[in-house]
Amino acid sequence: MKTLLARGWAKLPHDPRLADWAARAAEIARDAIESDEHSQQWQCDKTWFVGVDVLHNAPDGSIGDVSLAGRAVEELTALYGAQHWHRAQVSVVRPGYPKPRAGESDAAFRYRQHRDAAHVDGLLPVGDKRRRHLHEPHGFILGIPLNETSPDAAPLVVWDGSHLIMKQAFEQVLGGMTDARERDTDVTDAYQSARRRVFDACPRLELHARPGEALILHRQVLHGIAGFADTATAPPEGRMIAYFRPQLAEIPDWLALP
């Protein structure tokens, strides 16, 4: 996990145990994305299925008799302890992405087109002015590809090493605070100026992976989704990735953990 801590992301090699899980998850995901129950999850003119909490895995991550296992799971458990695996997100992107999201401003759509809608997870917009607050402190993000695509099919994008710049910026506004005060603190200005420094300083990388491989992101790394290129290929359902981002029990751990 040295790479995760040094660069803010890691790609783990093929593991047959994770490939088994991905194959089972893909079967369920293909049905879920077409069901009426989840039709509201389609955004951006039906080119992006957000898919939060869509996969009905058990709290140990298993789906039926297929357990969530493999090197990525073992290494994350060694670093951050045993996890309660919430229902995974199933993120699906189809040809044509990006298109404007309903209600999205021109500026926000340009940011989606030109900056991959780059963000740090867990900083939720609060109130009319959508000021950012740390309300969902995740421990890490684990991405598990569910199908085979070309590398230019809306890959996950990461700014290499950006978690270090972000961490320093958030320590300046949140460092030493209690749980409640961190929740109530507006971090918008620190976040936006750190993001500008990241765009100047950190290389933008497109991360592609295949079923059986895993992508792990540090909780403070700046990341987004690239467009689905005209030349890209994917199965009819689109490019599908399952994501876990277990929440930390204590907000201060968001800054304190490695």
Annotate each residue in 66-105 with x if it binds Fe ion (CB under 5 A) or - if it does not, as one string.
----------------------------------------
Under rule CB under 5 A, how many of the chain's residues touch Fe ion? 1
Residue number, 15 or 243, with CB nearest to Fe ion: 243
As measured in angstroms, the least distance from the Cβ of 64 to Fe ion is 28
Residues 142, 76 contacting (CB under 8 angstroms): yes
Cα 32–37–39 angle (5° rounding)? Answer: 80
When the beta carbons of 20 and 85 are compared against Fe ion, the nearer one is 85
Count the helices and strands in the chain (H runs, E runs). Answer: 8, 12
Minimum Å distance from CB 175 to Fe ion?
23
Under 8 Å between Cβ of 85 and 60 = yes
**Nearest residue (CB) to Fe ion, 26 versus 120:** 120
Token representation of residue 103: 């209600």
Q: Which residues, 99 to 128, sit near Fe ion by CB under 5 A?
A: 121
Q: Looking at beta carbons only, is 121 or 182 nearer to Fe ion?
A: 121
Nearer to Fe ion, 24 or 133 (CB): 133
Q: How far is the CB of 96 from Fe ion (least distance, A)?
A: 21
Residue nearest to Fe ion (CB): 121
Minimum CB–partner distance for residue 164 and Fe ion (Å): 18
The token pair that represents 30 in the structure block? 């293909």
d(CA 26, CA 39): 18
Q: Give, as ranges, the residues between 189 and 248 that touch Fe ion (CB under 5 A).
A: none
- At what angle are helices 71-80 and 16-34 packed, to 10 degrees? 90
CA distances to 136, 171, 217 from 195, in Å: 19, 15, 17
* One-letter identity of residue 125: P
Asked whether the beta carbons of 90 and 49 are under 8 A apart, the reply is yes
Q: Which two tokens stand for residue 76?
A: 């994350």
> What distance, in Å, lies between the first and last C-alpha atoms of the chain?
11
Q: Which is nearer to Fe ion, 116 or 121 (CB)?
A: 121
Minimum gap (Å) between residue 68 Cβ and Fe ion = 20
Least distance to Fe ion from the beta carbon of 16, Å? 28
Determine if 15 is a binding residue for Fe ion (CB under 5 A): no
By CB under 5 A, name the binding residues for Fe ion: 121
